[in-house]
A and B are shown apart, each in its own frame.
Chain A
Amino acid sequence: GDSVTQMEGPVTLSEEAFLTINCTYTATGYPSLFWYVQYPGEGLQLLLKATKADDKGSNKGFEATYRKETTSFHLEKGSVQVSDSAVYFCALRPANAGKSTFGDGTTLTVKP
């Protein structure tokens, strides 16, 4: 079945550092790919998405590119802020709009 593997955390960075959180997936066909963010005490929020190969999703300075050849969707940000501290989840949804599959999440802590 479908699966999503995320870089294990926690990740601790200093403010203004470069962020990469790795995500690889296994799925048949051409799934849509997502990054969600979960701030403490809140539900998941969609951060960005990509629906086909080579698409780049971007939002709030975060970017991720759908790489079908490497089955990856790595999350990047050039300069993190303390307010980016949260748990980040990579997810996929099959092309038939069936059940979404989430990774286990990566906790990011940004220190001033």
Chain B
Amino acid sequence: EAGVVQSPRYKIIEKKQPVAFWCNPISGHNTLYWYRQNLGQGPELLIRYENEEAVDDSQLPKDRFSAERLKGVDSTLKIQPAELGDSAVYLCASSLVRGAETQYFGPGTRLLVL
């Protein structure tokens, strides 16, 4: 069974440029999470989806970040415009249902903003 797939794995951009990350969760997983992991820290939740509905986006900086999961399967996270402080690893995870004990993480996208 394929795990959570993320692309790209690495991205280098200049500040003020837009960037997008893509995530394909494990087949059949209804819940999808986007996390940001700063260097030397643990992941912090940005947004959680139940199917196509964003049910927790309280930590998403909505002035520059947006996310979508149109058909309740794969998801895109966008930053526009990017700032230097956005440099981090962006992790996607999925779980079978809300409250499921196990979240399965993708390998992440490492973003460097210059």
Contact = CB atoms under 8 A, between A and B. Distances in A.
A41 interface: yes
B67 interface: no
B45 interface: yes
B43 A44 contact: yes
Interface in B70-114: 91, 93, 98-99, 101-103, 105-108
A49 B99 CA distance: 14
Contact of A51 (B41, B101, B107): B101
B101 A32 contact: yes
A100 interface: yes
Given A43-B4, A43-B91, A43-B108, A105 B103 contact: no
Interface of B (DSSP majority class): loop
B99 A97 contact: yes
A71 interface: no
A4 B103 CA distance: 18
B40 interface: yes
Contacts of A104: 40-42
A89 B42 contact: yes
Nearest to A107: B40
Contacts of A43: 3-4, 91, 93, 105-108
5 contacts: A43-B3, A43-B4, A43-B93, A104-B41, A104-B42
